[in-house]
Amino acid sequence: MQYVEFGKTGAKVSRLGMGCMRLPSHEADGKTVFDEDKGIALIHRAIELGVNYFDTAPYYCDRQSEIILGKALAGGRRDKVWVSTKNPIENDSGDDYQKRLENSLKNLQTDHIDFYHFWGVSLDAFLTKVKAKNGPFERAKKLKEQGMIRHISFSFHDRDAGAEEGNRLIEILKNGEGVLESVLAQYNLMDRNKEVGIALAHQMGLGTTVMGPVGGGRLGAPSKVIQDLLPGKVKSSADIALRFVLANPNVNIALSGVSTIAQLEENAAIAGNTGALSKDELNTIEVMMKENERLAGLYCTGCRYCMPCPREVNIPEIFTIMNYHRVYHLTDFAKKSYAEIGKVDWRKYENASKCVECGVCETKCPQSLPIRAQLKETHKVLTA
């Protein structure tokens, strides 16, 4: 395993971090049941492989993730690792913020959180809730003085896509300067619009962690298109994706949410091998990904001008899922994602079958896309 200074926090962290959002589970009576013993074994194996940064959150794995991580670290392992968890900023109350922290401490069987994140804040939430008078920001500073929080952090995934997303990350960094010590943001081969913000965070001395280095599982699925970026030189899509992220000197930790020991060992082997991509290899990837993005853009640019839809069909999200199939040939992932629509928190919208063909969206699309026809095609292909 390779280790790196985590910004100016004083922590020396493994370049591979374990995301505890996909702990082992099975289906029983139509419900997902998390396998505590397997989860604990997976975390123990990660520690054996040299991983020393573990990221969780109160709602991960049906609220079991913090508890399983706590059990795995009890009995002598807690002080060997850095624990990261998150506070959902549901309101601007400092008291509520503290209550949620205390609950996480209980779940994790610890008296302090090493990296405590304002969870998934948008710029608006950061300014109006986190930084409200006597709100979470002020309380976090007090709790840090008391030792319950070691480092104040934030995670960012502003939902609106596009160039502005990166700029909003920069605004949060500026508004939290001197207090925020690390950032967690999405970054991978197919989602690079926070690259500039991550570089600025690194320059400001924050520790930088990226989530979804293998595209939240997208790039873990075999894809000839992705592997053909460097023909013959990479073993799998996950290999190229993880090496791409780790080749960025502004990224300290790549978090990977694994479910099996085999995935964990594969990722640890990649992170332990210095085989970062060369400049030429990065250039080749850059050119080919741009071309793929251009192809994706021919279908839908994700501008969201077509929204809202009166039937709550999230057109750009559905077309993004379709593009994983159409452009990157990640068909299994696309089908799985499509099936999640309406069933998981991060896909709370309707699928294409709810479109009543009113045509309102098409009058607003600058690409003049035949949205109704494409939605029909998407539903047909991704439910086949």
Nearer CB in complex with ligand SF4: 112/376: 376
- Minimal distance, residue 373 CB to ligand SF4, in Å: 10
Q: Establish how many alpha carbons lie within 13 A of residue 110's alpha carbon, considering only the half-sphere containing its beta carbon.
A: 31
Q: How far apart are CA 173 and CA 181, in angstroms?
A: 10
**311 scored as a contact of ligand SF4 (CB under 6 A):** yes
Nearer CB in complex with ligand SF4: 222/359: 359
Q: How far apart are CA 78 and CA 197, in angstroms?
A: 32
- Minimal distance, residue 312 CB to ligand SF4, in Å: 8
- Minimal distance, residue 319 CB to ligand SF4, in Å: 6
In the block, tokens 């896509």 appear at 161
Nearer CB in complex with ligand SF4: 205/310: 310
- Minimal distance, residue 370 CB to ligand SF4, in Å: 10
Among positions 279-308, residues that touch ligand SF4 (CB under 6 A) are: 300-306
Q: How far apart are CA 326 and CA 26, in angstroms?
A: 30
- Minimal distance, residue 302 CB to ligand SF4, in Å: 5
- Minimal distance, residue 334 CB to ligand SF4, in Å: 16
**342 scored as a contact of ligand SF4 (CB under 6 A):** no
- Minimal distance, residue 292 CB to ligand SF4, in Å: 17
**356 scored as a contact of ligand SF4 (CB under 6 A):** yes
- Determine which residue in the list 74, 295, 360, 373 makes contact with ligand SF4, applying CB under 6 A: 360
Contacts of 384 (CB under 8 A, 6+ apart): none
Binding letters toward ligand SF4, positions 190-219, x by CB under 6 A = ------------------------------
**Applying CB under 6 A, which part among 2-10, 122-130, 179-187, 353-361 lies near ligand SF4?**
353-361
Nearer CB in complex with ligand SF4: 287/356: 356
Nearer CB in complex with ligand SF4: 156/319: 319
- Minimal distance, residue 340 CB to ligand SF4, in Å: 19
Nearer CB in complex with ligand SF4: 2/367: 367
**161 scored as a contact of ligand SF4 (CB under 6 A):** no
Number of residues that bind ligand SF4 (CB under 6 A): 28
**Applying CB under 6 A, which part among 134-142, 215-223, 272-280, 362-370 lies near ligand SF4?**
362-370
- Determine which residue in the list 2, 109, 259, 367 makes contact with ligand SF4, applying CB under 6 A: 367
Nearer CB in complex with ligand SF4: 132/365: 365
- Determine which residue in the list 45, 192, 372, 376 makes contact with ligand SF4, applying CB under 6 A: 372
- Determine which residue in the list 123, 180, 258, 369 makes contact with ligand SF4, applying CB under 6 A: 369
- Minimal distance, residue 356 CB to ligand SF4, in Å: 5
What is the 3-class SS of the chain, one letter each residue?
Answer: CCEEECCCCCCEEECEEEECCCCCEEEECCEEEECHHHHHHHHHHHHHCCCCEEECCCCHHHHCHHHHHHHHHCCCCHHHCEEEEEEECCCCCHHHHHHHHHHHHHHHCCCCEEEEEEECCCHHHHHHHHCCCCCHHHHHHHHHHCCCEEEEEEEECCCCCCHHHHHHHHHHHHHCCCCCCEEEEECECCECCCHHHHHHHHHCCCEEEEECCCHHHCCCCCCHHHHCCCCCCCCCHHHHHHHHHHCCCCCCEEEEECCCHHHHHHHHHHHHCCCCCCHHHHHHHHHHHHHHHHHHHHHCCCCCCCCCCCCCECHHHHHHHHHHHHCCCCHHHHHHHHHHCCCCHHHCCECHHHCCCCCCHHHCCCCCCCHHHHHHHHHHHHCC
CB crowding 234-269: b at 16 or more within 10 Å, else e: bebbbbbbbbbbbbbebbbbbbbbbbeeebbebbbb
- Determine which residue in the list 40, 73, 285, 313 makes contact with ligand SF4, applying CB under 6 A: 313
**Contacting residues toward ligand SF4, per CB under 6 A:** 300-306, 309-311, 313, 315-316, 319, 355-361, 364-365, 367, 369, 371-372, 375
